[in-house]
Amino acid sequence: MRLNTATVRSEAGVLATNKVLRNTYLLLSMTLLFSAATAATAMVLDLPHPGLIITLVGYFGLLFLTNMFSNSALGLVFVFALTGFMGMTLGPMLNMYLHAFSNGHQLILTALGGTGVIFMGLSAYALTTRKDFSFIAGFLMVGVLVAFFAGIAALVFSIPALSLAVSAMFVLLMSAMILFQTSQIIHGGETNYILATVSLYVSIFNLFTSLLQLLGVFGGDD
């Protein structure tokens, strides 16, 4: 009887994990498409970038609301508000690359392709090996904070070398974040698909923009 009970609980846990994983990837796909649509709209309308302060306030404000309502239907509304807002801020950046570099289209497509390959490769690795990457949580927290404040310093004081170093740091950190978040879902550390989606979306967004900046420096043809 104990064996049967343990088996039932184990199967229930697997089913719950698979449900979170399925819902996460479904919502992630939808938010990425929505974000791409808002980015394209911003590009077509040639909207200016809202600036650092508005971007940070909008991002952290919507992120806070998403976390607050992550267990209700309102959480889905704020997820799309957050990803749509981030897409709107991405549009002006893409236009800048198209105008600043003669091979701007190639740079954007290369960054997009690289982001897709890295995400799918790391996700597949975490899913197939089922390794627990929870041990890198502390490293990620410290690394992201350091990279975030270094990035702000690079923008405020206009230090190109520091900005380049931050982009390289974010490529590594966001890659590790994808491994960590996927592992959390697999091992039951993350049971809320809305929060899992936001984490993966932000990782993909930062990975793409960081790769694009690196490609612009090393492969740009202005």
For residue range 16-55, what is the model confidence (pLDDT) as tens digits? 788 999 999 999 999 999 999 999 999 999 999 998 899 9
- Output the CA angle 49-172-149, nearest 5 degrees: 50
Strand, helix or coil at 29? helix
| Owner of token pair 């993350």 | 190
- What is the pLDDT at residue 11? 57
Report pTM. Answer: 0.91
- What is the pLDDT at residue 154? 87
Banded pLDDT at 222 (limits 50, 70, 90): low
40 CB-near residues (< 8 Å, 6+ apart): 91
- What is the pLDDT at residue 17? 81
Asked whether residue 182 carries a pLDDT value surpassing 90, the answer given is: yes
Strand, helix or coil at 71? coil
Q: What is the mean pLDDT of residues 135-147?
A: 92
- What is the pLDDT at residue 1? 47
Q: What is the mean pLDDT of residues 100-118?
A: 94
CA 145 and chain centroid, separation: 15
Residue 184 neighbours by CB distance under 10 Å: 21
Helix (H) or strand (E) holding 110: helix 104-129
Asked whether residue 10 carries a pLDDT value surpassing 80, the answer given is: no
Cα(165)–Cα(47) distance, integer angstroms: 28
- What is the pLDDT at residue 16? 72
Helices (H), the chain: 2-44, 52-68, 73-100, 104-129, 137-156, 160-186, 193-219
Amino acid at 75: G
Say if residues 167 and 213 touch (Cβ distance below 8 Å).
yes
Please state, for a pLDDT cut of 70, what percent of the chain lies above it: 92
- What is the pLDDT at residue 188? 84
Q: What is the mean pLDDT of residues 108-129?
A: 95
* Both structure tokens of 159: 């230090």
Q: What is the mean pLDDT of residues 191-216?
A: 95
- What is the pLDDT at residue 13? 57
Higher pLDDT, 4 or 75: 75
**Alpha-carbon distances of 179 from 117, 127, 166, 199, 204, rounded to whole Å:** 14, 9, 20, 11, 12
- What is the pLDDT at residue 83? 97
Asked whether residue 161 carries a pLDDT value surpassing 70, the answer given is: yes
